[in-house]
Copies of this chain bind each other. A is one copy, B any other.
Amino acid sequence: MELRQLRYLVAIDEHGNLGRAAKALFVSQPALSYALKGLETELGVRLFERTPGGVVATDAGRDVVRAASEAVRRADLVAAVAARHRRDAARVLRVGFEASGAGELTRRARAEFARRHPAVRVEPKRFDWGEEAEALRDGRVDVAFVWLPADLTGLRSAVVHTEPRVVGLPIGHRLAYRAGVSVVETNDEPLMWTKRAPRRWVDWWAVNPRPDGSEPLWGPTNDNVEEMLEQVAEGAAICFAPSSMASYYARPDLVWVPLTDVEPLRVALAWPDGAGTALARGFVEVVADLTVTET
């Protein structure tokens, strides 16, 4: 059994058709026919039923494909781990964050890191809602500021920052000139949300259920800050955000008002479990030092 065969298998299952899978893999159709047959012989199970319309996975095939795609993913992780170390040698550190990240701390950490490691180039990488943790796991970044709640499996992390939440409103909104609002006062306002993040993340941000037991009024969806702010400025909905967003994404057509009765946002600094490189560790140290002295 070889990785190549497993990759073929997954592709065949995805396309449901040897010809199209072959095209996607840039090989000829007989190559897949041959590989599939070989795998079936080796495993001693029929994996796909051949039909005139294509191929369809058998019971065994479904399970094997699932296991195979996991194996392929793990193999790709090997490459990702190596790439991280290669980048380490090249003196590059990729720091993930979303929207305003950890506010002021983000910049201060970067500045201090640059002071301690002058030869290292820091590459900030912005992600869409709730994507940082996954990016960390599959090696797209070496370290990241993760907004909680988040799925931190496979990661090590430390909470390094908290900040109150605010509500974003278009200018002229009935609540726009208040010094603070309760979350229940926004119950009737359509609220921005996202399909990208898991349910738990969305509910936490939307404060669902509200203190009075009601459910938020779900408004339009969006994938990232810019899309969200566009919609809010347009008057299509309101949004909740950490207070730092008021200064990092200041716009003339938006107003930010503190939410008086919701949990603050907690931001964790996270890095891959076990696979942390020397530079990532250095960055973690910097942030640890900054947060110790500031509390």
Partner-B contacts on A (CB < 8 A): 1-4, 6, 43-45, 59-60, 63-64, 66-68, 70-71, 74-75, 77-86, 88-89, 274-275, 277-278
Contact = CB atoms under 8 A, between A and B. Distances in A.
8 contacts: A1-B75, A45-B85, A59-B277, A60-B85, A60-B88, A63-B85, A67-B81, A70-B74
List the number of copies, as a whole number: 2
B68 A78 contact: yes
Given A2-B2, A2-B4, A71-B71, A64 B82 contact: yes
B66 A82 contact: no
Nearest to A70: B74
B45 A86 contact: yes
A74 B67 contact: yes
Given A2-B3, A66-B275, A77 B71 contact: yes
Given A274-B63, A275-B63, A78 B71 contact: yes
Contacts of A3: 1-3, 75
Contacts of A77: 67, 70-71
Contacts of A45: 82, 85-86, 89
Q: Which of A45, A67, A78 is most buried by chain B, counting CB atoms within 10 A of its CB?
A: A78
Nearest to A88: B60
Contacts of A84: 63
Contacts of A86: 43-45, 60
